[in-house]
Amino acid sequence: MALIPTFGTGLFIGAGQALAAGGPASLLGSYVLVFFLSYCLTTAIAEIAAHRPALNGTMVAHSYEYGSSHLGFSLGYLRWYSLAMMVPFEITTAMVNLSLWTPEPSMAIRITMVAVLILLFNMLPQRAFQRTETIFTGLKIVTTAGLTICSLFLAIRGIPGTPIRGFRYWHEPGPMNEYLIPGGGGRFLGFLQCFLYSVIS
């Protein structure tokens, strides 16, 4: 339960766009960098939480205690803001996943249906909400494992009937793509774009 909810929807949506923008080496490097930063942050939070457990949430409470009241206040609003932004992000991702992003009147009905579904899940009693979290965590595990196996199979064997092999983009156009501008600056911008998608994931 602690690991799988950190696999965001951006992992399934943004990886292809990041690969096109920055190339395979930039994507791999950005995922490794974000993994390292996440590991450091979660380890520090776990150590402080084990040392001084807080009743009302670890990051905000410990920011007040070990940092300053300004830092705790800012982190509280940052947490609220980031969680508030997740709802429109999830709605947009649902529309993109369903390939329904076309400007037509029925789009408002579809968006409303997804928003109401999210609202209903968040209004469930705590025990029922925990059960749905467990179910969706299992679904994420199965989806992530299935996509990984499928990707490896297609990368090693290739897509039948085409000359495309899975590791072709390491050679054509190369491990790091140029993004927006040519040269080394374009490669750096490609890495930054991959880093942005990695953070969203």
**Where do we find the tokens 């300004």?**
70
pLDDT band, very low/low/confident/very high, at 5 (cuts 50, 70, 90)? low
Q: Could you report the per-residue pLDDT of 48-83, keeping only the tens digit for each? A: 888 888 776 677 888 888 888 888 888 888 888 888
- Cα 35 to its chain centre, rounded Å, is 12
- Cα 179 to its chain centre, rounded Å, is 21
CA atoms within 13 A on the CB side of 173: 11
Question: 3-class SS at 71?
Answer: helix
pLDDT of residue 6: 62
Instruction: Kindly give the interhelix angle for 126-157 and 10-22, rounded to the nearest 10 degrees.
Output: 30
pLDDT band, very low/low/confident/very high, at 101 (cuts 50, 70, 90)? low
* pTM reported for the whole predicted model: 0.71
CA distance 153 to 137: 24
Q: Which residues contact 200 (CB under 8 A, 6 or more apart)?
A: 8, 10, 14
Q: What average pLDDT does the segment 136-148 reach?
A: 84
**Is the Cβ–Cβ distance between 141 and 7 less than 8 Å?**
no
pLDDT band, very low/low/confident/very high, at 36 (cuts 50, 70, 90)? very high
Average pLDDT of the chain, as a whole number: 80
**Is the Cβ–Cβ distance between 161 and 28 less than 8 Å?**
no
CA distance 194 to 27: 5
pLDDT of residue 1: 47
Tell me: pLDDT of 159 over 50. yes
**Is the Cβ–Cβ distance between 75 and 63 less than 8 Å?**
yes
CA distance 21 to 15: 10
pLDDT of residue 33: 93
